[in-house]
Amino acid sequence: MENASLMPWLAGTALLHSAIVVEKRDALKTWTILLAVLTFALSLMGTFLVRSGVLTSVHAFAVDPERGVAILLLLALATGGGLLLYTLRAASLKAGGLFAPISREGSLVLNNLLLSTACATVFLGTLYPLFLDTVGGSKISVGAPFFNTTFVPLMVPLVAAMAVGPMLAWKRADLPGALARLWVAAVLVVVCVLWALWAHGFRPVMALVGIGMAAWAFFGAFAELAERVRLFRIPLGDSLSRAAGLPRSAWGAAIAHAGLGISIAGMVGTSAWMSEDVRIMHPGDSASLAGYEFRLESVEPAQIANYAAQRGTVTVTRDGQAVATLHPEQRFYPVAKMTTTEAAIHTTFVSDIYVALGGKAEEGDGWTVRLYYHPLVPWIWFGAVVMVIGGLISLSDRRYRLGVPVRRASPAVGGRSAAQPAE
C-alpha cells in the first residue's frame, strides 16, 4: 500500500529536476510535460488503490467499490485526455539547446532515467499481481526481495550522481575536475564507513555501502555550496558574504539532498542493525537486548471506557541508568469482539525501542513479550522533514515567483478608454 504514495513521489521528483533543464536550457520540454501528466495520473492511481479495496492493507481507507469506480473513471479521463493533448501538441514544441553527455543537463537526464525506471519497477511490482489475478492467473505475492533486487541497484547510481551533478557546468563539463572538488566529501564518507565498521563489523557488508552512500549524499550536498562560496580559499568573511548572496534555490536544493542522505542512513540502520527477541517472561524477569536491560515488573488488568486491557509495566535501563518505563497492552474490545496488541515505544534521536505484550502462557503467570530495537528509525522521518524544508526554501526563491498580469487603461479614444495589459 505504501507503493501507492511512492510512485507519484518518484515521478514528481523526476519532474522537478526535469523542469530545471527546461528553465535553464529550454530543453526536455516534451519529456517534462509527459512527466507532469504521468505524475498526476499516478497520484490518482494511488487514490484508487487505497480507496477501491483492490489492495488489502491495514493502511487502506474504507472500502467503497462505487467510489473506486468513480476514481477509476476520473483516472481514465484525466490520463487519457492529458496523453491525447500531449500526442497532438508535442510536435509543435521547439527543441531546446544541445548539451554534452557530461554536463549539468546530462546529470539531470540520468536522474530522470533512474527515477523513471525505479517508478516503473514499483508500478510493475505493485500492479502485476493484481493484473494476473484479474485475468484468472495464479495468485502471486511480490514482496521485499523483489524490490530489494530491482529498486536498490537503481538508487545506488542515483545517489552517487547526486553529489557530482551540481558540480558540473551547463552544456559541457569536466568530470575529473568535478570529482576532484569533492575530495573533502569523500574523506568524510570514509570516516563514516570506518565508524560503521568499528561499531558493527563487516556484517552486513551492504550496510557499509549504504552508510557510505548516505554520507556521500549528505556531505556532497554542501560541497557544491562550499565550492560556490570558495570556503577556506578566501577570507571567511568574504565566504559568508557570498553565502548570504546565494539564491534560496541553491540552499533549498542542498538542504533537500542532505535530508535524503539522512533518510537513507535511517533506512540502512533499521534494516541492517535491528535487534529483536521474543520470550516468555514472568513478573520480575529480565532480558537484555542491544545493550539495554528490560525488566517485566507486572501485568495487571485495566478497564477503560470501551475496552478491557492487560497492561504490562516494563522498565528499561542501560548501564544501570533508567531509560524509560513502558506500558504495552493487550486490549479486548467487547463490542467488536476484537483483540489488539498495543506496543509501547520509547523514541530517542538515534533509535526506537518497542515492547509488545503477547498472549499469556498456558501455565503460570508468564507472558509472551516481544522486544525490538530499531536504530536510526527517527532519522527516516527527520530526513523527510529536512527535505520538505529544503523544498519550501526553494519555492520561496523570488526567481520562481510569477507576476500576475496587470491591466492598465489606455489613453481615451473618442471619449472612451480601453484597458490594455501592462507590458
Write down the pLDDT at residue 295.
95
Who wins on pLDDT, 303 or 214? 214
Q: Which residue has the cell 495468485?
A: 139
What would the grid cell of residue 191 be? 570516516
Write down the pLDDT at residue 375.
94
Contact (Cβ atoms closer than 8 angstroms) between residue 104 and residue 169? yes
**Structure confidence by residue, pLDDT tens digits, 144-165:** 888 888 888 999 999 999 999 9
**Region class of 108: left (phi > 0), else alpha (psi between -120 and 50), else beta:** alpha
Q: Which residue has the cell 527527520?
A: 382
Write down the pLDDT at residue 399.
67
pLDDT surpassing 90 at residue 261:
yes
- Total Cβ atoms within 10 A of residue 351: 20
Contact (Cβ atoms closer than 8 angstroms) between residue 220 and residue 185? yes
> Residue 421 — pLDDT band, cuts 50, 70, 90?
very low
Strands across the sheet containing 344-347: 275-281, 367-375, 351-360, 344-347
Give backbone dihedrals phi and psi of 87, rounded to 5 degrees, phi first.
-65, -40
- Total Cβ atoms within 10 A of residue 378: 18
What is the DSSP code (8-state) at residue 404? Answer: P
Write down the pLDDT at residue 139.
74
Q: What is the mean pLDDT of residues 259-269?
A: 95
Most confident range (mean pLDDT) of 54-58, 139-143, 271-275, 399-403 is: 271-275
Q: What is the mean pLDDT of residues 176-181?
A: 90
Degrees, nearest 5: CA angle 194-256-241: 95
What would the grid cell of residue 72 be? 477509476
Q: Which of 207-211, 226-230, 236-240, 418-422 has the lowest mean pLDDT?
A: 418-422
Q: What is the mean pLDDT of residues 70-87?
A: 88
Buried b (16+ CB within 10 A) or exposed e, 200-213: beeeeeebbebbbb
Output the average pLDDT for the chain.
Answer: 86
Write down the pLDDT at residue 24.
85
Write down the pLDDT at residue 218.
95
Who wins on pLDDT, 262 or 403? 262
> Residue 56 — pLDDT band, cuts 50, 70, 90?
low
pLDDT surpassing 70 at residue 319:
yes
Write down the pLDDT at residue 131.
79
Q: What is the mean pLDDT of residues 394-401?
A: 75
What is the DSSP code (8-state) at residue 284? Answer: T
Q: Which of 202-216, 303-317, 406-420 has the lowest mean pLDDT?
A: 406-420
In sequence order, the 6+-apart residues with CB closer than 8 A to the CB of 150 are 121, 125
How far is the C-alpha of 35 from the C-alpha of 38, rounded, in Å? Answer: 5
With residue 1 as reference, give the H or E element that holds it.
Answer: none
Q: Which residue has the cell 485526455?
A: 81
> Residue 57 — pLDDT band, cuts 50, 70, 90?
low
Write down the pLDDT at residue 35.
94
Write down the pLDDT at residue 148.
83
Write down the pLDDT at residue 321.
93
Write down the pLDDT at residue 397.
77
Domain regions of the chain by residue span: 275-375
Who wins on pLDDT, 405 or 364? 364
How far is the C-alpha of 239 from the C-alpha of 232, rounded, in Å? Answer: 8
Helix H segments across 229-280? 236-245, 248-272
Q: What is the mean pLDDT of residues 336-361?
A: 91
Q: Which of 66-70, 89-93, 290-294, 348-352 has the lowest mean pLDDT?
A: 66-70
Q: What is the CA radius of gyration of the chain?
A: 27
How far is the C-alpha of 123 from the C-alpha of 106, rounded, in Å? Answer: 25
How far is the C-alpha of 173 from the C-alpha of 357, rounded, in Å? Answer: 59
Torsion of the alpha carbons at 126, 129, 131 and 134, rounded to the nearest 10: -140
- Total Cβ atoms within 10 A of residue 324: 17
pLDDT surpassing 80 at residue 52:
no
Q: Percentage of the chain with pLDDT > 90?
A: 50
Write down the pLDDT at residue 406.
56
